[in-house]
Amino acid sequence: MKIPFSPPYINQAVISEVTDALESGWITTGPKVKKLEDLVCEHIGVPNTLCVNSATSGLMLALKWYGIGAGDEVIIPAYTYSATALAVMHVGATPIMVDVNDDFNISVSAIEKAVTKKTKAIMPVDIAGWPCDYDEIQQLVENKKLLFVPNSEKQQQLNRIITIADAAHAIGAKYKNRYVGLTSDITVFSFHAVKNVTTAEGGAVSLNLPEPFNNQEEYDYLRCFSLNGQTKDAFTKSKAGGWKYDIIYPGMKINMPDVLAAIGVAQLPKYFSHILDEREAIYSYYQEFFKTKPWAIIPPYKNEDKLSSCHLYALRIKDISEEQRDIIIDAISKEGVAVNVHFQPLPLLTLFKNMGYDIVNYPMAYANFKSEISLPIYPQLTQDKLKYIVKTVENAVESCLC
């Protein structure tokens, strides 16, 4: 049996919506993008959402909006995808990596130790779709208020460290009965091809800024900034008589095209009504199987405060070395099942190693990584396939351990 890791969910509704965009005479940012933004707001409950061409550029946009740049520090987990750190570096700031918990997510006590006068933002990452300790993080930024040194207009207005969540995995995840998005000042979702909801490439920046901010005004500013700082988008300019525009900010060019937004417009309502539940059912199937295995560490997924969006099934095998984990993955792959490792902690990657980050300072990140295997999770997985996957994993692990 051949089982891919994460094929996109493309049905007739998606194809019809994309065709509609193609046939409409307008293919870049316009009505489909607006529709997708409205759908994200309606489902999650955030006041405003801006769609952009990736989560990476959405994170950069949020950091730039807050006036973060050279000399500033941004606290991120060592256990994440590289984009979290690269976004910080692209705006000229310094990523301060901290260790994580046993649940893969950023450790609040590690954040606390890392805060300095230079800290401008904290970027929690909901690994695998499991929400971070958002209330504790929000409490921490309140507690550290006196240390904060504002040096931009927005920083003066908020007057504390901003929380910008990298929720690339976490659309639809819940924290204390609120969707992730209502849990930080700004939340960035990814619509990359392998994520729970996709537009092939894309991202969404959801605003949830407290008083005195007006989220609609900040949205208008960000929308303009994401389109070269131009006062009129191409859609408005394309109308007769609409030719005149001005450039008012040194903006970025990171807008999402309508052709891609159409995929998300067709997927998103179905995601909230069915697909999330289907992902959860697959997750439960794995949980039921692996919880009886003495060698398995099953991932967190649901407790009284948190509900995962089930983006990844991050299985860990007790007491194995990195080499053993790799042997197990080879054995699984030989049987046609595509698995993955999420993630290689950033300090193991050449770029960050060369910058001086050292994995010995992140023991939990390494421990999580060395024994981790991500299993496929998507609604097209039938019971037959799931049975084949768990048996294949079991055989591979047990033959390696004996």
Ligand X SMILES: *Cc1c(COP(=O)(O)O)cnc(C)c1O
CB of 192 to ligand X, least distance (A): 4
CB of 105 to ligand X, least distance (A): 11
Nearer to ligand X, 192 or 306 (CB): 192
Half-sphere CA count of 148, side-chain side, radius 13 A: 22
Query: What is the total count of residues that contact ligand X (CB under 6 A)?
Result: 14
Tokens of 337: 């099942």
Site string for ligand X, 177-216 (x = CB under 6 A): -------------x-x----------x-------------
The residues that bridge with 316 in the sheet, in sequence order, are 297, 372
The residues that bridge with 206 in the sheet, in sequence order, are 49, 187
Residue ranges in 148-167 that form contacts with ligand X under rule CB under 6 A: 166
Site string for ligand X, 55-94 (x = CB under 6 A): xx-----------------------xx-xx----------
Residue type, 98: V
* SS3 of residue 187 by DSSP: strand
Q: Tell me the window of 23-31, 52-60, 212-220, 256-264 that interacts with ligand X (CB under 6 A).
A: 52-60
CB of 312 to ligand X, least distance (A): 9
CB of 301 to ligand X, least distance (A): 18
Calpha distance 320→370 (Å, rounded) = 7
Contact assessment for residue 26 and residue 361, using Cβ atoms and an 8 Å cutoff: no
Residue ranges in 220-279 that form contacts with ligand X under rule CB under 6 A: none
Tokens of 308: 């995962």
CB of 147 to ligand X, least distance (A): 27
Residue ranges in 100-139 that form contacts with ligand X under rule CB under 6 A: 125
Contact assessment for residue 3 and residue 389, using Cβ atoms and an 8 Å cutoff: yes
Contact assessment for residue 273 and residue 68, using Cβ atoms and an 8 Å cutoff: no
Nearest CA among 116, 164, 113, 114 for reference residue 138? 164
Nearer to ligand X, 123 or 320 (CB): 123
With CB under 6 A as the contact rule, the residue among 51, 68, 168, 262 that binds ligand X is: 168
Nearest CA among 29, 84, 4 for reference residue 260? 29
Calpha distance 340→350 (Å, rounded) = 20
Q: Which residues bind ligand X (CB under 6 A)?
A: 54-56, 80-81, 83-84, 125, 166, 168-169, 190, 192, 203
